[in-house]
Structure 1
Amino acid sequence: MSQTIEPADEDPSQPAGRLGVTLLTGFLGAGKTTLVNRLLARENGPRLAVVVNEFGDLGIDGDLVVGASERLVLLDGGCVCCTVRGDLAAALADLLAARERRLFGKRDFDGILIEASGLAAPGPIAQTLILDPNLAHKLYLESILCLVHGRNLPQQVAEFPEAAAQVAYADLLLLNHADQASTQELAETKRLLGELNALAEVHETRHAEIDPAVLESVQQRVRAPAPEPMQAAHVHASGVGSVSLASAMPLDLAALKLWLQFLASRRGHELFRIKGLVRCTGLSEAVVIQGMYEWLEIGPGTGPAPEESRLVLVGRHLDRAECARGWAAAGGRPQSCSSQAERL
């Protein structure tokens, strides 16, 4: 029997005329403030609205401020700073309303950068962007960046579950302060990053310097996952890890949807990321799977179906045997079902 798959009416992972949002996370001392100020100072870069908990958190040079209100600060160079003050959805709604009223004039912005506090878990922030009905049709989550300290991350992960969650949610991991760590410390941090997130790209940085092309390439990869070789990862002592599934046999689309929807509804609070590129019976095109928290999107890809289907789940306390059973019920014949992961 042939199967069909229709694109969703509203895909939170795709632009569709909406403003892109980049979420910046990182534990205390990782260098987020330095990175944000570098992004604001870029010439010919996108004009950003930066959302922070409090204005003081950003450490903005006072000479850059050209106008301010209770919640909004206008910066020289075409950027806007917005303070959350406890309610992210309300802050974003106020920001968008001011933009629609053209209150920023020539300082209108092209995208939004949310700098999460050092102790913030990314999940609730991402959920707000994806599931809030007043925001989902105006914004989309473009990517999640996480800065980590090249020397301090192992201790932070051991003491704070938020540090592990920040790494696990990321699309791009910036290994900052690499010059302050020894070769052994850097190797240990990289190993830990691989354990916590088998999907993210890792780039070493010093003083939070990053090539803009790296950010752009990550955003493109988030929207168009492709199967590429990935190093093995193992479940960390914190319970955060990844499960990889691969099959050369085509899957049944209806059964695959049923299993993933059940998994998202039952274990969504522990599912940090889901990414897959699969071949389904009766379909010539690839099927792309993306998910985060309780949001799940299954839609047509832009290319032909792959010879081998791959699915990677990143989360906390994932049951590999349970995932294998669901994969098999959809027709997959696991070539791998372990703590090893394949890059999508």
Structure 2
Amino acid sequence: MNRRNYTLSDALPSLPKRGMPVTIITGFLGSGKTTLLNQILQNKNNLKIAVLVNEFGDINIDEQLLISVESDMVELDNGCICCTINDSLVDAVYRVLDREEKVDYLVIETTGLADPLPIILTFLDIELKFLTRLDAVITVVDAAAFDAEHFDSDAALSQIRYGDIVILNKIDLAREEKITELKAFIEDIKPGFRILPSEHAKVPLPLILDIGLTKADNYQAEISEFRRNKYTFSNHLANDDFNFVSFKSDRPFKIEKFEHFLTEQLSNNIFRAKGILWFQESPSRHIFQLSGPRYDLQADDWKTQPKNELVFIGRNLDESLIKQQLNDCLAELAVRNKFSLPNLPW
């Protein structure tokens, strides 16, 4: 038998009629979840996919970084799904189910600090289990940054423990010995785990959608406990001491000052940051991503009035200090008339 070489856009098999299939994408801060979600949206062929995106923070950066979601995007309240908005998650799923235009598939991207177990149990509990079918929990792991003590986070280990498949992402940034060690570590947590290596979260969709890996029978004890006491499933953020700092400004940054902030002042307790940046020296919109010690800036065109929006996520962050440092990076005067940007309302 010849080995099949899948491409990202290979047609998916016909989806079953019993309940809307659901895939949960989980993974720790900066692992590449939104990149994977974008890969799904770019290569979904004729599937009508609804997306639920949730963020830890009060600025919805991920919504701005997603492509081609348009009316498929259903917004959840801000905060971690598994610890603050289970009821809102159920409401959002009903909103998807009640749409006049049929939805073929539901994909949920959790925050990087989410223990996926409460989200899994929400779909296996009585209210949703006859209307939806939990297909698989996909855990995205940063091959370069993850290790056995990954940020000392219970949530990071739970994301592997309760996943059905691991996408070992960013293998191009990791040493071969590190990849081997990480595979062994994952295998020790969950023997027989399916591991898919990837760069930039590029994985053929038939390997991750409509694969039927989540088995409800494996969660009977957890479902019973979930019904008795949902609070015990929702306290991981307090245990891990994570918090966020958000920053907005209608004034641009000075590039030199912002680079000084990143290289000289950034706290080691910041594990993840992302945002939309406006620099005095550039007419472009800059997409900012930071994961551990690595950061990246990509430029494109403004489609709205320029502004700065940033979220930093870490452990025991000093909000007042970070905001003061960022304010020190701002240009003294707004420069809205410096560049001629079409169709912008000033």
| Normalised-by-shorter TM-score class | 0.5 to 0.7
- Aligned partner of 2:187: which letter? G
Per-residue CA deviations over 1:169-211 (Å, capped at 9, x if unaligned) read: 1111000000100111111111111111114200100000001
- TM-score, structure 2 length as denominator? 0.52
- Rate the CA distance shift 1:181–1:101 in 2: closer, same or farther, 3 A: closer
- TM-score, structure 1 length as denominator? 0.52
Matched, 1:291 2:285: no
Tell me which residue corresponds to 1:41. Answer: 42
**How far apart, in 2, do the equivalents of 1:168 and 1:46 lie?**
30
**How far apart, in 1, do the equivalents of 2:21 and 2:45 lie?**
17
What SS class does the counterpart of residue 154 from structure 1 fall into? coil
Alpha-carbon distance, 1:220 to partner: 3.7
Tell me which residue corresponds to 1:200. Answer: 193
Q: 1 or 2, which has the higher strand percentage?
A: 1
Alpha-carbon distance, 1:142 to partner: 0.9
Tell me which residue corresponds to 2:110. Answer: 116
Per-residue CA deviations over 1:265-314 (Å, capped at 9, x if unaligned) read: xxxxxxxxx9xxxxxxxxxxxxxx53365249xxxxxxxxxxxxxxxxxx
- Aligned partner of 2:42: which letter? A
Per-residue CA deviations over 1:137-188 (Å, capped at 9, x if unaligned) read: 2112110000001122115536111111101111110000001001111111
- Residues 231-270 of structure 1: pairs in structure 2 closer than 5 A: none
**How far apart, in 1, do the equivalents of 2:212 and 2:96 lie?**
29
Q: 1:146 touches 1:170 (CA, 8 Å); kept in 2?
A: yes
Q: 1:24 touches 1:145 (CA, 8 Å); kept in 2?
A: yes
Tell me which residue corresponds to 1:23. Answer: 24
How many residues are matched? 202
Tell me which residue corresponds to 2:62. Answer: 58
Match of 2:130 among 118, 130, 137: 137
What SS class does the counterpart of residue 208 from structure 2 fall into? helix
**How far apart, in 1, do the equivalents of 2:96 and 2:44 lie?**
25
Alpha-carbon distance, 1:128 to partner: 1.3
Tell me which residue corresponds to 2:33. Answer: 32
- Rate the CA distance shift 1:19–1:39 in 2: closer, same or farther, 3 A: same
- Rate the CA distance shift 1:98–1:87 in 2: closer, same or farther, 3 A: same
**How far apart, in 2, do the equivalents of 1:42 and 1:193 lie?**
28
What is the root-mean-square deviation of aligned Cα atoms in Å?
2.9
**How far apart, in 2, do the equivalents of 1:62 and 1:179 lie?**
23
Alpha-carbon distance, 1:39 to partner: 0.9
- Aligned partner of 1:290: which letter? N
Per-residue CA deviations over 1:95-123 (Å, capped at 9, x if unaligned) read: 42454251xx4xx4211111111111111
**How far apart, in 2, do the equivalents of 1:191 and 1:222 lie?**
22
- Give aligned-pair identity as a percent: 24
Matched, 1:127 2:121: yes
- Rate the CA distance shift 1:99–1:16 in 2: closer, same or farther, 3 A: closer
**How far apart, in 2, do the equivalents of 1:292 and 1:158 lie?**
30
- Residues 1-344 of structure 1: pairs in structure 2 closer than 5 A: 17-44=18-45, 46-54=47-55, 56-61=60-65, 64=68, 66=70, 74=71, 79-85=72-78, 86-97=84-95, 99-102=97-100, 105=101, 108-131=102-125, 133-154=126-147, 156-157=149-150, 159-216=152-209, 219-222=211-214, 290-291=218-219, 294-295=222-223
- Aligned partner of 1:27: which letter? F
**How far apart, in 1, do the equivalents of 2:205 and 2:74 lie?**
21
Alpha-carbon distance, 1:90 to partner: 2.6
**How far apart, in 1, do the equivalents of 2:66 and 2:168 lie?**
29
Alpha-carbon distance, 1:16 to partner: 6.5
What SS class does the counterpart of residue 145 from structure 1 fall into? strand
Q: 1:147 touches 1:176 (CA, 8 Å); kept in 2?
A: yes
- Rate the CA distance shift 1:293–1:201 in 2: closer, same or farther, 3 A: farther
Structure 1: which 5+ runs fail to align?
1-13, 67-73, 224-273, 275-288, 297-344
Alpha-carbon distance, 1:46 to partner: 2.6
